Amino acid sequence: MEGILLVYLYKKVRCYNLIVVSEVKMLSPFYLWLAVIFIISRSNASHLKNNGVFPKKFIFGAATAAYQIEGAWNEDGKGESVWDEFVHRSPSPIANNETGDVACDSYHRWKEDLHLVSNLGMQYYRFSIAWTRLFPDGYVGKKINQAGLIYYKKLIQEVVKLGLMPVVTLFHWDLPLKLYQDGISWTNDSIIDIYVNYTRQVIKHFPEVSIWITVNEPRIYCRYSYGLGTLAPGIKESGILDYQCSYVILKAHAAVYRMYKKEFPLYKAPMSIVVDCQWYEPETNKTADIQAADRQQQFECGMYYHPVFIGDWPSVVVERVAERSKKEGYKKSRLPKFTMEEIKFIRGTHDYLAVNHYYTFLAADEPEAPYNHTDYDNDVRVINSRSPDWALASNKYAIVPWGVRRVLNWLKQQYGNNMIIITEMGTSDDGSSLNDYERINFYCDYFCEILEAMQIDRVKVIGLSVWSLMDNFEWNAGYASHFGLYNINFHNDTTLRRTPKRSVGFFKMLNKTRKLHCSGYKGNWTEPNWGPHGKEHYSYDNRLHRSHKL
Ligand SMILES: *[C@@H]1O[C@H](CO)[C@@H](O)[C@H](O)[C@H]1NC(C)=O
Ligand SMILES: *[C@@H]1O[C@H](CO)[C@@H](O)[C@H](O)[C@H]1NC(C)=O
Ligand SMILES: *[C@@H]1O[C@H](CO)[C@@H](O)[C@H](O)[C@H]1NC(C)=O
Ligand SMILES: *[C@@H]1O[C@H](CO)[C@@H](O)[C@H](O)[C@H]1NC(C)=O
Ligand SMILES: *[C@@H]1O[C@H](CO)[C@@H](O)[C@H](O)[C@H]1NC(C)=O
Ligand SMILES: *[C@@H]1O[C@H](CO)[C@@H](O)[C@H](O)[C@H]1NC(C)=O
């Protein structure tokens, strides 16, 4: 009866399970039974928890946006965007009066930056095209700006040469200023044809692109640019122009998608719209709070996905805005109504589902505000708070890893089992240290929950890009928040040197092995051997391509 039995034990490591093989010597059937009972009792954990491994086909990437990294705001024939005008206003609407005039200087250092992506072992690079680099005043009638065209041509060619997939955002908030001055803005249908004409040129010139994104985060863009006025062009018409923007931007997205499918039948790259979808957890189990959480989810996330994946606005949004509009004395709802043709035109304009996720809040029902005041927040009617148990990142957002699993499940439940790419996810540090353990913990815990969603809940997540490749101009926060895997010291280092934070090692390892290496826990961190960090400045010679004539 003597023999050796290999016993597979599931060892719990943070939120996933490692398989550990043990040898057990069998002396008698008694021990054999003991081993079997032991295995059964231990293996229970495994059917609940993931194995910490991403599939080989899963694509990881790093994300950026033109205005946040390029700089060179007025070089080589580039026109001004509303952002160029906004940051130069006096008084400045940006923290510390900062601007994106130079930002990371990626217009000159693009080659170095692509090597940073490649150094991480990523499979794709997500970046955006600055409309005004190609068409300085936004209109397509005139000739394309050659310097801008060559810049993106070279960039995309190098991305491909490095074995990375180019993932391109067509509009990441930098509307040409001339259009805006001519009254053509995201609150007016007249922008749609012009936007389609611009995107047609981009698509035509860059057939190498692997994945297309029409618009980045219309919720943030419409709400903050046309409702609250904290993003360019700084309009404050909450509850009116923010809805008008959502309406126009959805039609513009659909028009680009339809043009692409019709005019570029040989292109294989999938196209979609990126929606940022946060998570709202009911604060209590009271029906009113559960409804409040759902209402906010529909007002933010559903506002864009519902028209694209199902058709028309979510009904709770239609009802709320209509009800308040009436009581506030408007003749019709402040939420524009889609015609039947528009509903059909927008429905189905997606090849995958793209979502950005950053944070979670508790949501509670709020009493109805008086009807003498129009405001988007009064339409939503929800109070947000954070649980005191939640850890806060340095940007004051709560770190709630299970929020992403709930978002992914919500997306599946609402819109079906689409292929999902998480196009942005990240956290910021305060820039004071390269030892960004907080970020590594963030990604460990969030990735565990994404794996739970994939392996346990069967949500089809196929890729994820981190926000962001490197510290950059974070819109109205200026350079104060540091979302990058690479640090840039904007204030004290005029060379804008990119220095790897520790999380660079984490991503190198993840990309190489496809496995999470998160064995340490919080304060008790045991760092795997990730190779050098901090000192390993990327050695690409900037001067070479600075002088390299485009
Ligand atoms: C096994 O998992 C189930 C489902 O969650 C749980 O209720 C049960 O307590 C677990 N049993 C053991 C022995 O851990
Ligand atoms: C920003 O500019 C204003 C003048 O427009 C000046 O008074 C203020 O001190 C500046 N703030 C910083 C942080 O530089
Ligand atoms: C759109 O712009 C045109 C002319 O530029 C103007 O007549 C029209 O009122 C605008 N529509 C809206 C909804 O602002
Ligand atoms: C868009 O392009 C088409 C075809 O080139 C042209 O006929 C049309 O006038 C353009 N629209 C605008 C608004 O520029
Ligand atoms: C709500 O109810 C569920 C199960 O009934 C429970 O697990 C959860 O903790 C409750 N949530 C709150 C905030 O009370
Ligand atoms: C609206 O009415 C409330 C009380 O009825 C009052 O306190 C508030 O100041 C009013 N707000 C505006 C903007 O008029």
pLDDT digits (tens, 9 = 90+) for 281-294: 999 999 999 999 99
Handedness of CA 64, 305, 221, 191 (dihedral sign): positive
Q: Is the distance from CB of 439 to CB of 503 less than 8 angstroms?
A: yes
Ligand 3 within 6 A of CB of 55: no
pLDDT at 13: 65
Report whether residue 46 contacts ligand 2, using a CB cutoff of 6 Å: no
**Average pLDDT over all residues of the chain:** 90
pLDDT (0 to 100) of residue 350? 98
Position 525 pLDDT exceeds 50: no
Q: What distance in Å separates the CA atoms of residue 104 and residue 113, rounded to the nearest whole number? A: 10
Report if residue 266 sits inside a domain.
yes
Euclidean distance between CA atoms 174 and 172, whole angstroms: 6
Structure tokens at 296: 């906010």
Instruction: Give CA 412 to chain center in angstroms.
Output: 18
359, part of any domain? yes
The number of the ligand 1 atom at minimal distance from the alpha carbon of 41 is: 13
Residues 402, 374 share a domain: yes
pLDDT at 42: 55
Tokens for 208, please give them: 């190498």
Report the 10 Å Cβ neighbour count for 512.
9
Give me the amino acid identity at 182: D
53 burial via Cβ count (<10 Å: 0-12, 13-18, 19+): middle
Q: Assess if residue 54 is contained within a domain.
A: no
What is the average per-residue pLDDT within 236-247?
98
Q: What is the pLDDT of residues 375-421, one digit of tens each?
A: 999 999 999 999 999 998 887 889 999 999 999 999 999 999 999 99
Q: In this structure, are 8 and 128 located in the same domain? A: no
- Tens digits of residue pLDDT in 427-446: 999 999 999 989 998 999 99
| Ligand 3 centroid, distance to 448 Cα (angstroms) | 48
Nearest ligand atom owner, CA of 49? 1
What's the rounded Cα separation, in Å, for the pair 191 and 186? 7
Compute the distance from residue 223 Cα to the ligand 5 centre, in Å. 32
In a domain, 98, yes or no: yes
- Give nearest CA residue, ligand 2 atom 11: 96
Catalytic machinery residues: 217, 424
Contact 223, 246 (CB under 8 A): no
- Is 30 in the same domain as 80? no
| Same domain, yes or no: 368 and 413 | yes
Instruction: Locate all alpha helices (DSSP H) within 347-401, ordered by sequence.
Output: 376-380
Ligand 2 in reach of 92 Cβ (< 6 A): yes
The model's confidence at residue 39, banded by pLDDT at 50, 70 and 90, is low
Same domain flag for 289 and 358:
yes
pLDDT range class, residue 36, cuts 50, 70, 90: low
Answer yes or no: are the C-beta atoms of 276 and 357 closer than 8 Å: yes
Q: What is the pTM of this model?
A: 0.90
Q: Which of 23-32, 246-255, 353-362, 464-473 has the lowest mean pLDDT?
A: 23-32
Nearest alpha carbon, ligand 4 atom 3: 197
Asked if 110 and 41 sit in the same domain, the reply is: no
Instruction: Name the closest ligand to CA 244.
Output: 3
181 lines ligand 3 (CB under 6 A): no
434 and 338 fall within a common domain: yes
In a domain, 112, yes or no: yes
Q: For residue 79, is it within any domain?
A: yes
pLDDT more than 70, % of the chain: 86
Is the per-residue pLDDT at 38 higher than 70?
no
CATH number at residue 258: 3.20.20.80
pLDDT score for 59 = 97
Cβ contact 470:113 at 8 Å: yes
Of the bound ligands, which one is closest to the alpha carbon of residue 374?
6
Ligand 6 interacting residues, C-beta cut-off 6 A: 370, 372-373
pLDDT (0 to 100) of residue 19: 61
**75 and 13 share one domain:** no
Q: Which residue's alpha carbon is at the smallest distance from atom 9 of ligand 3?
A: 188
Kindly indicate the confidence band of residue 107, based on its pLDDT and cuts at 50, 70 and 90: very high
Q: Which atom of ligand 3 is nearest to the CA of 189?
A: 1
Q: Does the CB atom of residue 285 touch ligand 5 within 6 A? A: yes
pLDDT for the residue numbered 537: 39
Mutate to test the pocket of ligand 5, among 285, 286, 362, 389 (most ligand atoms within 8 A of CB): 285
Residue range of the domain that includes 223:
59-547
Of 319-333, 356-370, 524-538, which gets the smallest average pLDDT? 524-538
Domain co-membership, 112 together with 228: yes
- CA 142 to centroid of ligand 4, rounded, Å: 11
| Phi, psi (degrees; rounded to nearest 5) at 78 | -65, 140
The whole-number pLDDT of residue 51 equals 85
In a domain, 53, yes or no: no
Same-domain status, 314 and 395: yes
Question: pLDDT digits over 190-213, tens only?
Answer: 999 999 999 999 999 999 999 999
Q: Determine contact, residues 485/503, Cβ cutoff 8 Å.
A: yes
- Answer whether 315 contacts ligand 3 (Cβ < 6 A): no
User: What is the mean pLDDT of the segment spanning 341-350?
Assistant: 98
Same domain, 298 and 403: yes
> Is beta strand 271-276 parallel, antiparallel or unpaired with respect to 211-216?
parallel
Buried residues in 80-110 as b, exposed as e (16+ CB within 10 A) = bbbbbebbeeeeebbeeebbbebbbbbbbbb
User: In what helix (H) or strand (E) does residue 24 lie, and over which residues does it extend?
Assistant: strand 16-26
Exposed / middle / buried, residue 142 (Cβ in 10 Å: 0-12, 13-18, 19+): exposed
**147 and 194, same structural domain?**
yes
Ligand 6 atom 3: the closest Cα is on which residue?
A: 370
Ligand 4, residue 200: give the atom nearest the CA.
2
Closest atom of ligand 2 to 96 CA is 13
Q: Does 97 contact ligand 2 (Cβ within 6 A)?
A: yes
Our CA angle for 265, 271, 277, nearest 5°, is 165
Confidence (pLDDT) at 546: 31
Tens of pLDDT along 487-512?
999 999 999 999 999 999 999 999 99
To test the pocket of ligand 4, the residue of 135, 188, 197, 259 to mutate (highest count of ligand atoms within 8 Å of its CB) is 197
Residue 291 CA to residue 269 CA, distance in Å, equals 38
Determine whether the shortest distance from the Cβ of 284 to ligand 5 is under 6 A. yes
Q: pLDDT tens for residues 45-98? A: 434 478 889 999 999 999 999 999 999 999 999 999 999 999 999 999 999 999
The residue whose CB lies within 8 Å of the most ligand 1 atoms, and thus the one to mutate among 44, 47, 49, 456, is 44
Number of folded domains that form the chain: 2
What's the token pair of residue 125?
């690079």
- CA nearest ligand 6 atom 1, residue: 372
> Does 142 have pLDDT greater than 90?
no
Contact 222, 249 (CB under 8 A): yes
Domain assignment present for 177? yes
